Structure 1
Amino acid sequence: MLKKFFILCSGADHALLDTCAPGEQNKYAGIGATVFFTALMAFIASGYALYTVFDNVAIAIGFGFLWGLLIFNLDRFIVSTLKKRDNFLDEFLQAVPRLILALIIAVVIAKPLELKIFEKEIDRVLLEQKNDLTLANQNQIANQFTPEITALDTQIEALKTEITTKEAEVNALYSTYITEAEGTSGTGRLGKGPVYKEKRDKHDAALAELQQLKQTNTEKIAALETQKTELATVYDTRVAETQPIIDNFDGLMARIEALDELPWLPSFFIFLLFLAIETTPIFAKLISPRGEYDLKLADAEGELKSWATQKANQRRNLIDADNVLNDKVYGDLAQEDELYNYKKKMARELMQKQQDAFYKRQSKLL
């Protein structure tokens, strides 16, 4: 039962193969088994690849099954249409398009399985890429707020500088009236005279202005700091909104690109393995000698071709003979007086009717 199933997978004519030796049947059963297991691997590979895309088991199994059937049909077609010929070069030229198709199929099957085999290494590469993307995303969002924050910092610094300048002015006035009282500057007289009082009043007025300035600027600085806090909140919101996009950066294309970051040699050998599996049935047919099945198939096809050619020749001869007979029959009829007189009589009656009809139409016009 299993042998018949694999023979069916090989695309061979089972009715014709049943008449061949067991060794010939085993050869095509082996080819069919290769076709079947290649399709099975294609189903597994495509199922995993689609699962990484849709993240749904049912969808992955459904589409994977369809893809496996497609690969099975292509492989079966490739093997069944490759026929043995008398010249190896003719066989090889016949196999070239099928080898190219087998190469494409091997790539398609091998790549998803590579993704699964090197899943842990790919996850590590993806983690590094996600971290880089997170930092880049944070920097890009921060750059959007940098001009506004810089402007706020400049205003805050200007307000603080204004307070510092006013404090320096007040301190200078304080030193002036103190030294005036000590007699070390100004009038040089010890004691609190009129000049001292004038300088003291000037200091007190500046001190009041400083206190008012501190209160006003402190309020302004608090408002600016509030704006900076609001900007920081908006920044955190933007980062939180965009982070899920980076966290989901593990789709099929991202994994393929991450796989390219890994050493190429292991992936290359896996590809060679599937290429060998995919092309084995083709090379098996190319290097194997013409077997009993090939001879019987060629004989059956030759018999069918001869029969079709014979039928075509018979149809062509039948048409040629019919044309000759028709020419001879109509040639003999053309020489009979009875047929000539009858046709002449009918032609005369037809011309008379045409003339009568013309006369009646002209009479109506008059």
Structure 2
Amino acid sequence: MKKINKFFWWCAGANIEILEECPTDHSKYFGVGGTIVFTALMASFAGGYAFFTAFKSVIPSLFFGAFWGLLIFNLDRYIVSTIGKGDGTQKITKEEWKIAAPRLLMAILLGFVISTPLELKIFETEIQTVVERLKIDKAVELQNRDTTFVSNLNNSKDRRTSIDNDINKLTYDKTSLSENAGKFFENSIAEQKVDLKNKQSVVEVWQRKVNSSYSSYVNAKNDSLSNSIINKRLGALRVNQSERNKAREEVQSIQDKIEDLNNNKGNAIIDEKNRINDLLASKQQEKTNLNEQIASKQKTLDKKNVGYENKTENYDGFAAHLEALSILTSEKPAIFWAKWLITLLFIFIEVAPVLFKLMAESGPYDDMMDRLKHESFVKEKQKISDINDSINTSIKISTEKNQNRLDAEIVGNKALLNKIALAQAEIAGLAIEKWKEEEIKKLNAGVNHIINHNGELKI
């Protein structure tokens, strides 16, 4: 039990040797240390679960959980051990709030970080249901990206269905032709006569237009209208004549077909069968080509869908669970409030030791720690003062030595300067005497050149 107490005291950042001398403070720091330890354990569970959710591996998750727990433990211990004891009263002052603000913010952040993985575990069943729904939504979303490809495939299938209908109709016509040859001729001639009647009506319409345009053209010529009007009406007449002639040719063609049907009934059946067979062969070939295209496209689409399914099947990591939790909280208010209560609980657990130390009254342990800190502070200040005195003394001695050396140099320099001055004066005197003598010699040597025999000055 004693070892456990010491361990929890150490976790609370207390000085164990001093705390042992203060029995009244044992439980306080035991509680702080216990909070830190159990918070670290919960963080370890949360980190390990989060890592397992992301990587689906047990052994690495255990190592990461242990690492995460130690990291949170170290941060909590640092926060509590550096917060101090406040002002020693149960009231938290504004100044204490300012000092504790960074550590409180850090504790709140840790509360969010620790609570989130545990919330994922608590609501795991509900979250997994939403994750499965998200997988389906993601698969549909990926498949919808191939809209053009799927549209082309569906168009090919629709075209194949249309060809099947055409083949069925042609097959039916071929069978009906063999079974009801007489009726076939009657129907064929009836169809041609209907076409003939329609074309004859068209011819009549164009003939009326020709007559009208011809009358207009003749009137223009008779009335001597301008050439442009005459040419315009002539052009309209020719256009109408051309369209009328085309309609007449179509009428003649239909009449020829009717006559041919009446004269060559046997050949007409054979020709119709050949026509149907040619159409059937063409449709069958087109269907074969379409089947190959559809099979190829369907195979490609199936591969894509399998790839999408594999991708969405792996959508079961940490981020997917977070997204599912977000959806759950938005859809179900009960889960929303439960999630926030859990988060607030962990935030309270994180900030509780900090607030507890700020609100705790000063005890014997705090007084002894203050005394030790003060003693250490005074000793260090004394050491600094002694060092400063030693340095100042050394500086003073060095200064005095330098001053004495300077004074000696000044005295020596004065004597030297005096000697130099005397020497310079003596040298100057000798130089003057020497100059004087030389000048006198010059004067004596050149006196007869200065005055001539007439007593005049000679220059």
TM-score by length of structure 1 reads 0.81
Matched, 1:33 2:34: yes
Which residue is 1:323 aligned to? 395
Superposed displacement of residue 152, structure 1: 6.3
Q: Which segment drifts farther, 299-308 or 84-93?
A: 84-93
Is 1:301 the counterpart of 2:306? The answer is no
Distance in 2 (alpha carbons) for counterparts of 1:93 and 1:203: 107
Task: Kindly provide the amino acid, as one letter, of the partner of residue 222 in structure 1.
Answer: T
Greater shift in the superposed pair: 94-103 or 125-134 = 125-134
SS in 2 for 1:261: helix
SS of corresponding position for 1:239? helix
- Percentage identity across paired residues of the two chains: 30
- CA 1:100–1:324 in structure 2 vs 1: closer, same or farther (change >3 Å)? same
1:229 to 265, 290, 295: 295
Deviation at 1:131, TM superposition (A): 2.0
User: Using the alignment, how far apart are the partners of 1:269 and 1:329 within structure 2?
Assistant: 78
Q: Deviations over 1:154-198 (max 9, x none)?
A: 4773685598589879979964634899xxx99xxxxxx996442
- Given candidates 299, 306, 325, the residue that maps to 1:240 is 306
Matching of residue 272 in structure 1 with residue 272 in structure 2: no
Which digits, 9 at most, give the CA deviation of each residue in 1:113-134, with x for residues without a partner? 0000000010111111112223
Give the distance between the partners of 2:98 and 2:288, measured in 1 at CA: 84
Equivalent residue number for residue 130 of structure 1: 135
1:121-200 aligned at under 5 Å gives the runs: 121-141=126-146, 143-151=148-156, 153-154=158-159, 157=162, 161=166, 164=169, 175=183, 177-178=185-186, 196-200=262-266
Amino acid at match of 2:185: Y
1:203 maps to a residue whose letter is: I
Aligned equivalent of 1:58: 59
SS of the residue 1:97 aligns to: helix
Q: One-letter code of the match for 2:272?
A: A
User: 2:201: which partner in 1?
Assistant: none
C-alpha distance in 2 between matches for 1:278 and 1:46: 16
Q: Which stretch of structure 1 is more off in the superposition, 212-221 or 249-258?
A: 212-221
CA distance in 1, matches of 2:412, 2:262: 160
Bigger radius of gyration: 2
> Equivalents in 2 of 1:121, 1:100: separation in Å?
31
Describe the shift of the 1:208–1:281 C-alpha distance in structure 2 as closer, same or farther (beyond 3 A): same
Q: Distance in 1 between matches of 2:95 and 2:187?
A: 117
RMSD: 3.2
C-alpha separation between the residues in 1 aligned to 2:33 and 2:337? 30
Matched, 1:104 2:109: yes
Q: CA deviation at 1:310?
A: 1.8
| TM-aligned CA deviation for residue 299 of structure 1 | 1.4
AA partner of residue 104 (structure 1): L
Structure with greater contact order relative to length (CA < 8 Å, sep ≥ 6): 2
* 1:251 correspondence with 2:317: yes
1: CA distance, partners of 2:10 / 2:290: 81
Q: Report the alpha carbon displacement of residue 230 of structure 1 after superposing the two structures with TM.
A: 2.6
**Shift in alpha-carbon separation, 1:180–1:78, aligned structure 2, 3 A:** closer
Q: 1:211 aligns with which of 277, 281, 300?
A: 277
State the TM-score, normalized to the length of structure 2: 0.65
| Aligned-partner Cα distance in 2 for 1:30–1:195 | 114
Q: How far apart in 1 are the matches of 2:184 and 2:83?
A: 112
Structure 1 residues 237 and 194: alpha-carbon distance in aligned structure 2, compared to 1, 3 A threshold: closer
- Counterpart for residue 93 of structure 1: 98
Deviates more, 1:310-319 or 1:94-103: 310-319
Aligned-pair distance for 1:86?
Answer: 3.3
Distance 2:187 2:372 in 1: 131
User: In 2, Cα distance between the equivalents of 1:98 and 1:200?
Assistant: 107
Which segment drifts farther, 215-224 or 122-131?
Answer: 215-224
- Count of paired positions: 332
What letter corresponds to residue 375 of structure 2 in structure 1? E
The answer to which of 70-79 and 218-227 deviates more is 218-227
One-letter amino acid of the counterpart of residue 26, structure 2: Q
Question: What CA deviation, in whole Å up to 9, does each residue of 1:328-361 have, x standing for no partner?
Answer: 22222333479959xx9xxxxxxxxxxxxxxxxx
Q: Residues 200 and 272 of structure 1: is their aligned pair in 2 closer, same or farther, counting only changes over 3 Å?
A: same
One-letter amino acid matched to 2:84? K
Q: Who is 2:75 aligned against?
A: 74
| 117-126 vs 223-232, greater mean Cα deviation | 223-232
